[in-house]
Chains A and B, each alone.
Chain A
Amino acid sequence: MAILIDERTKVVVAGLTGSEGTFHSLRNRSYGTQVVAGVTPGKGGQDVEGIPVFDTVDDAVAETGANTSLVFVPARFAAEAIYEAADAEVDLIVCITEGIPVRDMAQVTSYLRGTSVALVGPNCPGVISPGRCNVGIIPGEICAPGRVGLVSRSGTLTYQIVHELTQRGIGQSTCVGMGGDPVHGIGFIDSLQRFEADPDTDLVVMIGEIGGDDEERAAAFIDDWMTKPVVAYIAGFTAPPGKRMGHAGAIITGSSGTAQAKAEALEAAGVNVGRTPTEVAELVQATLV
């Protein structure tokens, strides 16, 4: 099973012919992912290492049966690429691009609410179902197949925690990098819901950070709905208020949004919160025994 992506996933890459697009799409393919098409306007008919390139997503879907779009195009064109993929009726869009204007994303998410397309990202590392399929830039070699689901707002911090799990022999069903932008697609709650329903997942790790109230909302959802254990990590305990810490998401404003408040909300919902990435892996190990 796994969630969102598996052996049946067929990927069309927007921005395949760019350097990042080429590099990571080929890595996804060598991981075993069916990367069936690329899209670059004006380059239809070419190919990248045997992956055919089309002028439009519609053509790519019609010719190859692609059901998932992976977006690598620059920020100023990314919203267009998401609309195009949604109109071509793929099931899932994974947008890696960072730096997309938030107004574009507010319009995109408004539009997508009227469709059945799921969006992951933007400004995210993508999704991997280890041993089955990798869509994005998560290094496949740090993951291992297994029964822990993971969802995270951060990219490299996800790698850190996945790595700690794998080193302890704990594999993953699916890792979802939801991204750090203020307005984004699938979040904690949607991921938790899917993991709860997934027979191949026994436990969920959620990785949050300061800013916004996604973690507090997730805590309420966990309290009401989750039967599977959840282990969490929150980054930013030592971040001073009012300072922007890189991500659009990582800023504390006012009294809410602190790491402390998030950890307390999660603990009140029965979630074990690790204080370091290493402790998260230890808690997962202890919970699974």
Chain B
Amino acid sequence: MDLFEHQGKDLFAKHGIALAEREVATTPREAADAAERLGGHVAVKVQVQAGGRGKGGGVALVHSPEEAAAEARRMLDEGFKGTRVTRVLVERLVDIAAQYFAAISLDRSAGKYLAMVSNEGGVDIEEVARTNADAIRRLHVDAVLGLRTYQARRLVGHLPPRAREGSADLLRKMYSVLAEADATLVEVNPFVQLTDGTVMALDAKVTVDDNALFRQPDVAALKDSFPIDPVERRARDAGLQYVKLDGEVGIIGNGAGLVMSTLDVVQQAGANAANFLDVGGGARADLIATSLEVILSDPNVKSVLINIFGGITRCDLVAKGVLEAFTRVTPEVPIVVRLDGTNAEEGRRILAEAGNPHIVSAATMLEAARKAADLAHGKAA
């Protein structure tokens, strides 16, 4: 789960990281009031779950409450890179002497965390990595040992001497945010040294591991603050992995790999997938029924392909779920079903006996994809 900057900064504050004074605003009026309280000279920053705000017009430096209101209005009206914007952060401007970059993230292939510090900050860090690799120091952090003091010292050893102690302290605090919030990424671009010497985080990008939300109730409670498509919300609340795509063949499958493969095979058959939907392991009948409801609510869907290879999932329960769905929704498009694996024969028998004209059975994955593609394009399968 990607947090908004202001939510990340709330976590930072709990760990004693120095931050500029700030307020969240959801209307131009609130932005103006916040700017007034913060002394008029503020940054207005769009709150989105994405990077690239600086270059994309998502940050405005203003010098009056009126300007703050105008910028907030623009951001809230226009959105940011196609995403709806529901709030902005209004933050007091500070006197910056130098800008740097720091991040700690999961390095999956090493099975460790990777900590990085750049002596160039406030810019596109991937660009820095390409053009001036020496600007970035990086080292691995073992998840058992944590970030050691000597490691923090090494990471900041290429910063100016007066910035080192504060920067090392910031890094240790960033690591404690990462460890205690089950984050897989804590990034600050830029962190700055002020003219008075204070080292401060002007940004906060925090990604929390979805698998750990059960033990992070405070973070889990934030999930309703993110704008989400109503269909995606319905799927998520049912425990389904659903991603809306642009094609015409609705896809239901079990297991991320098999579903992705189904998407690919449908494209090779000449059609495009309308979605990714993984019902997961051990899918029950009601979950299959909900999946069909979710998919059929997309008006672009011209045919549906259900591709199940039963392991934990039992195909007889999948078949019952398809029939149960028909008692809840009236499908207007053909539904191609391919069942293999655990209890597949029984599942196929249940569907055959139902004799529903919307159900088209297929013996193999390839045949199912071809049938679904043909049916979506109005051809007889």
Give residues in A with beta carbon < 8 Å to B. Answer: 20, 24, 75-76, 98-103, 105-107, 109-111, 125, 137-139, 142, 152-160, 163, 180, 182-183, 207, 209-210, 212-214, 217, 233, 235-240, 243-250, 254, 259, 275-278
Residue of B nearest to A99 (CB): B211
Contact assessment for B281 and A98 in the assembled complex, using a CB-CB cutoff below 8 Å? yes
Q: How far apart sit A245 and B260, CA to CA, in the bound complex (Å)?
A: 8
B334 at interface by CB-CB < 8 Å: no
Residue of A nearest to B113 (CB): A106
CB distance from A76 to the nearest CB of B (A): 6
Contact assessment for B106 and A106 in the assembled complex, using a CB-CB cutoff below 8 Å? yes
B182 at interface by CB-CB < 8 Å: yes
Q: B281, B311, B341, B366 — which one has the most chain A CB atoms within 10 A of its CB?
A: B311
Contact assessment for A103 and B209 in the assembled complex, using a CB-CB cutoff below 8 Å? yes
Given contacts A142-B340, A158-B257, 20 further A-B contacts (CB under 8 A): A99-B211, A102-B211, A107-B143, A109-B111, A110-B142, A153-B257, A155-B258, A155-B311, A156-B254, A156-B309, A157-B255, A160-B258, A160-B261, A183-B108, A209-B260, A239-B263, A245-B260, A247-B256, A276-B365, A278-B365
CB distance from A164 to the nearest CB of B (A): 8
Contact assessment for A277 and B261 in the assembled complex, using a CB-CB cutoff below 8 Å? yes
Q: Which of A98, A103, A212 contacts B108 (CB 8 A)?
A: A212
Q: How far apart sit A245 and B243, CA to CA, in the bound complex (Å)?
A: 7
Contact assessment for A245 and B259 in the assembled complex, using a CB-CB cutoff below 8 Å? yes
Selected A-B contacts with CB under 8 Å, 22 pairs: A75-B211, A100-B211, A106-B143, A110-B143, A110-B144, A111-B144, A137-B312, A139-B341, A153-B257, A154-B258, A155-B255, A156-B309, A160-B309, A182-B108, A183-B111, A214-B109, A236-B263, A237-B267, A238-B272, A238-B273, A245-B260, A246-B259
CB distance from A256 to the nearest CB of B (A): 11
Residue of B nearest to A111 (CB): B144
B21 at interface by CB-CB < 8 Å: no
B13: A residues at CB distance < 8 A: none
A214: B residues at CB distance < 8 A: 109
Q: Which of A75, A99, A102, A154 contacts B106 (CB 8 A)?
A: A102
With A213-B109, A250-B260, A277-B365 known as contacts, the answer to whether A163 contacts B276 (CB < 8 A) is: no
Contact assessment for A276 and B264 in the assembled complex, using a CB-CB cutoff below 8 Å? yes
Q: Which 7 A-B pairs have the closest CB atoms?
A: A154-B257, A156-B255, A246-B256, A157-B257, A106-B143, A101-B212, A156-B258
With A107-B143, A238-B273 known as contacts, the answer to whether A243 contacts B243 (CB < 8 A) is: yes
A233: B residues at CB distance < 8 A: 261
Q: How far apart sit A40 and B278, CA to CA, in the bound complex (Å)?
A: 31
CB distance from B113 to the nearest CB of A (A): 7
CB distance from A231 to the nearest CB of B (A): 15
CB distance from B262 to the nearest CB of A (A): 9
Q: How far apart sit A6 and B375, CA to CA, in the bound complex (Å)?
A: 46
Contact assessment for B111 and A110 in the assembled complex, using a CB-CB cutoff below 8 Å? yes
Residue of A nearest to B178 (CB): A103
B311: A residues at CB distance < 8 A: 125, 137-139, 155-156, 159
Q: Which of A110, A156, A247 contacts B112 (CB 8 A)?
A: A110
Residue of A nearest to B258 (CB): A156
Q: Which of B108, B245, B365 contacts A240 (CB 8 A)?
A: B245
Q: How far apart sit A87 and B143, CA to CA, in the bound complex (Å)?
A: 19
A153: B residues at CB distance < 8 A: 257
B211: A residues at CB distance < 8 A: 75, 99-102, 248
Contact assessment for A103 and B214 in the assembled complex, using a CB-CB cutoff below 8 Å? no
Interface residues of B in 254-311 (CB under 8 A from A): 254-261, 263-265, 267-268, 272-273, 276, 278, 281-282, 309-311
